[in-house]
Amino acid sequence: MVPQGSIEHIITHLTKQGYALSVIDTYILRLLGTPKSGWISLGKNQLNRIDFLYKLTNAKAMIHKVTLIPGETKELFLEAVSKQLDLNKTKLLHYYHQYSVYPEAGIYADTYHVPYGIGEKHLIAFLTKISEKKYQSLSEKIYGTYNKKRWSKILTIASIIQKEAANNQEMPLISSVIVNRLKKGMRLQMDGTLNYGKYSHTKVTPERIKNDKSDFNTYKHKGLPSSPIGSVSLSAIKAAIKPAKTNYLYFMKNNKGVHDFTDTFKKHRINIQKSR
């Protein structure tokens, strides 16, 4: 593991780790360049002094690819990350709440390259910071400013869209249903809102709807949940910001795996019968 800092600091660190380095090595490193920080692979063959120092300055840092799938909750994502990178899940969650602006969706759904050996604090700081910059850039591009309260609402709508839509093409239609139902004072009554936290992949049953007391239960509570449900993609964010212009109030998944949209409950009931 090569730390960040001056060449002298790096030499001191490596000496403490058992590498016999001298003042001459400091001079050689100045000629070769500052070593890259992070874990690096030195290979399996025995190296002479010059080759070792050359490897320190030219070897590529070892990295992990970490992927957050759109719609996944931080609870399950950080559990997977803790296993992949051999980190402590409790610490990851602690630092998430410390660094993230949003209770959920504080990490944008994407693939990230992180250095081997990174700790819980630096990992979460990196993921939340780069996600925040992404959100800020998008907001400023669309609105000319970045209002976190407004963006939280956008992320909340986008997270519902992400859970409910069968594909990207449906997203603006799902968004229009959310907007139309809210305008009419109707409960959203969407299963996806109950797939929060540890329930990300749990089938929503009538019993669950009856017993869940949280504001994520949109069968009982009017309006939007108080925070996003899971991570979101760019397509879901765009759909939340610009819903399709429709009169749709209902949608039902058909036997082809996509949704049929309707503007009356009568038509919706027909689609329910078809699906049985």
Sketch the domain layout of the chain as residue ranges: 7-58, 63-143, 148-275
Note the pTM of the prediction, 2 decimals. 0.80
Torsion sign across C-alpha atoms 134, 140, 146, 147: negative
Residue 1: predicted pLDDT: 40
Residue 5: predicted pLDDT: 44
The whole-number average pLDDT for the span 211-219 is 97
Which of residues 113 and 223 earns the better pLDDT score?
223
Q: How far apart are CA 19 and CA 244, in angstroms?
A: 63
pLDDT band at residue 36, thresholds of 50, 70 and 90?
Answer: low
Report the percentage of the chain scoring pLDDT > 90. Answer: 72
SS3 114: strand
pLDDT exceeds 60 at position 254: yes
Q: How far apart are CA 90 and CA 92, in angstroms?
A: 5
pLDDT band at residue 3, thresholds of 50, 70 and 90?
Answer: very low
Query: At residue 191, what are phi and psi to the nearest 5 degrees?
Result: -60, -40
